[in-house]
Chain A
């Protein structure tokens, strides 16, 4: 078995899941917020806050984990000759899907990664989020079976594929020189989840390793559910199960396992909107082809459409806090339910009009 295929064995996806699960709980132990050792949506939201795209003072920090995911994947893609500059597959729709995925994630208070980590930390509310995620992915599968397609991408010039990686390097510089920046240029929380973080270098190194192995193994929390339901393939699902079990054991060992529903960290108990938020997120991720982590890994390997999705998520995070759609520990935001319902309608319209459902009697080709 050559090195390329070695990464694709069942054993390696189990190790990948376990590594991510343990890494997340260790990052929590080292300072990241509770049950939020890694959360792609929350961390992109923190970056949006640090850049002043929203002014929720408790969630502003440049998270090195996001930077490491992109750059780790970039290194793996370059080493294994999989860096392929490409784009042009309905980028604006992908931006909207990223935006809506963030609206849904922040109604639940976490992306699929955090839903799994919340569960492994004992947060029972995560069960409703995961149920919503599976429901959202299932709706996405219905559209995929109905010919849903955002169109083919095309090869592009390399510069385009370096844009998001360059932004990540820029963010790393801002983080590194944060104490020397003028007041009001970049925002860093002094209390709340944004003020809780693991040492920068350790977080960055762990994220680089995760980015590297996730690019090689194609790790994706949304495809894990999708592939089981759509093509009866359990490869990625095995990795996700491994993540939950490893994180659960690690949480017990580290004294971070607190089973229950009420009083869970950065979580609320309104199960309707825990479920509804993740239906929206699951559907948006499924229509975009992968979970938020996967979108970062794809961006690293040169997929500019995935990069546009990431920017849509960051834009969505700014919107969610500026327009009070994001939940808090006390429950959904004032406009959260309305935003989730509107988002679901938009996703259903995208699914309908980008599939054969809208042109049943016409010849369809892509």
Chain B
């Protein structure tokens, strides 16, 4: 069962900070993140990749679902 995080509507840098904290806590596994801006999507993807996590992006209308796993 994947952990879920909703960072929609949060200003920079809170989306990436919240996801980073969660990934640090998880260490490995699966995290699904709901994002609503391109900037947050890009920041989270870059941060996760830099820390060895793989990120799959699914567009859901005007939002994005990021599936992050390690």
Contact = CB atoms under 8 A, between A and B. Distances in A.
Contact of B17 (A80, A144, A152): A144
The main secondary structure of chain A at its interface with chain B is: loop
A154 B9 contact: yes
B13 A227 contact: yes
Interface string B7-33: 011111110110010000000000000
Contacts of A145: 17
B62 A149 contact: no
Contacts of B13: 144, 223, 226-227, 230-231, 289
Contact of A84 (B16, B17, B20, B62): B62
B11 A150 contact: yes
Contact of B11 (A84, A153, A218, A233): A153
A63 interface: no
Interface in A1-29: 4, 8
A232 B46 CA distance: 11
Q: Which of B38, B43, B62 has the most CB of A within 10 A?
A: B38
A290 interface: yes
B20 to A, nearest CB: 6
Given A82-B37, A233-B47, A235-B46, A289 B17 contact: no
A89 B62 contact: no
Which interface residue of A4, A154, A218 has the most chain B CB atoms within 10 A?
A: A218
Nearest to A305: B11
Contacts of B47: 231, 233
Band of interface residues on A: 20 to 34
B60 interface: no
Nearest to B20: A231
B39 to A, nearest CB: 5
Given A233-B47, A233-B50, A223 B37 contact: no
A288 B10 CA distance: 12
A144 B11 contact: no
Interface residues of B, number: 20
A61 to B, nearest CB: 31
A159 interface: no
Interface string A291-324: 0000000000000010000000000000000000
B3 interface: no
B48 to A, nearest CB: 11
Nearest to A216: B38
Contacts of A8: 42, 46
Contacts of B43: 218, 227, 233
Given A8-B42, A82-B37, A84-B37, A231 B17 contact: yes
Nearest to A154: B9
Contacts of A144: 13-14, 17
Interface in A102-131: none
A153 B9 contact: yes
Contacts of B17: 144-145, 230-231
A45 interface: no
A89 B12 contact: no
B39 A149 contact: no
A54 interface: no
A25 B16 CA distance: 34
Interface in A51-89: 80-82, 84, 86, 89
B9 A152 contact: yes
Nearest to B37: A84
A86 B36 CA distance: 10
Interface of B: 8-14, 16-17, 20, 36-39, 42-43, 46-47, 50, 62
7 contacts: A8-B46, A81-B62, A144-B17, A153-B9, A231-B16, A233-B47, A289-B13
Given A89-B11, A218-B39, A227-B13, 14 more contacts: A8-B46, A81-B62, A82-B38, A84-B62, A144-B14, A144-B17, A149-B14, A150-B11, A153-B9, A232-B50, A233-B43, A233-B47, A305-B11, A366-B10
Per CB-CB distance, the 7 closest pairs between chain A and chain B, nearest first, are A152-B9, A289-B11, A289-B12, A153-B9, A82-B38, A218-B39, A8-B42
